[in-house]
Amino acid sequence: MTTYLWYPPAADGAGPWPLVVFGHGFATTPFLYQRLLRAWAAAGYLVAAPLFPLGNANAPGGPNESDIVNQPRDMSFVISRLIASSASVASPLHGLIDGRRIAVAGQSDGAETAFATAYERPWHDRRVRAAVILSGAELGGHVPLVSHATPLLAVQGTADSINPPRYTLGLFHAVGRPKFLLLLRRARHLGPYTVAGPRLAAVERITTAFLDHYLRAGPLGAMSRAAAPFHADTLISEP
């Protein structure tokens, strides 16, 4: 499976780095989100973004959304291959990935994929230590969730008509603490994660503060400080 990597800057040393695996939305590619992915890499994360074989914009015969049920396994496959590559002295990724510090993230269908990988029992990957869900939903509907709490940051635009806020509110209430919900006032489905401006800046800063706390032992208060300049938005915290 083709997977694109964004590396931390040279000033962060030679690793090992925490890993963030990102799932793109239906009929898109990872490059639509490259501003956000570059921001995470600049903050010290190795970011891996697989190109889902049938869900990407250039899939043979056109994108097929029904393949979303296979995407959580795709995400776990990428995690396994990257960890194996990091362990292999023959790999250019040797020693670059810390397999104890892994997060999944995604937007839209990619967010459903990440949520299933982190929380839903049929697809759960126990290696995941945190999840960033951007305009997402539960993939399996009423499938059981794992009992232990993986830290969650859910982000949702209140004017999103493609993924209405009720879906994000549903997954937020379905999981246990620690969990956080960032509501972007009057924001729509895709722009907050792809278009340069105050919305993307808010998402970059708050998601990075979340990842820093749960993967790098950064201060929890950095999340509220990151949200403070964005007065129109609301950060709900249940640590």
Q: Which domains does the chain have, with CATH numbers?
A: 3-238 (3.40.50.1820)
The residue type found at 34 is: Q
* Tokens, residue 187: 């924001």
DSSP 66: G
84-126 pLDDT, tens digit each:
999 999 999 999 999 999 999 999 999 999 999 999 999 999 9
Cα separation, 106 vs 199, whole angstroms: 17
Phi-psi region of 141 (alpha: psi -120 to 50; beta: other; left: phi over 0): left
* Tokens, residue 18: 């925490």
The residue type found at 135 is: S
* Residue 180: strand pairing partners: 153, 237
20-31 pLDDT, tens digit each:
999 999 999 999
Would you tell me how many other CB atoms lie within 10 Å of the CB of residue 32? Answer: 16
Is the model's pLDDT at 216 over the cut of 70? yes
137-182 pLDDT, tens digit each:
999 877 999 988 899 999 999 999 999 999 999 999 999 999 999 9
Q: Do residues 112 and 120 lie in contact, with contact meaning Cβ atoms separated by under 8 Å?
A: no
Look at the pTM and tell me if it is higher than 0.85.
Answer: yes
* Residue 50: strand pairing partners: 3
Average pLDDT over the chain reads: 96
What is the arithmetic mean of pLDDT over 46-50? 98
pLDDT band at 11 (very low <50, low <70, confident <90, very high): low
Cα separation, 148 vs 101, whole angstroms: 17
Length of the chain, in residues = 239
**What pLDDT does 172 receive?**
97
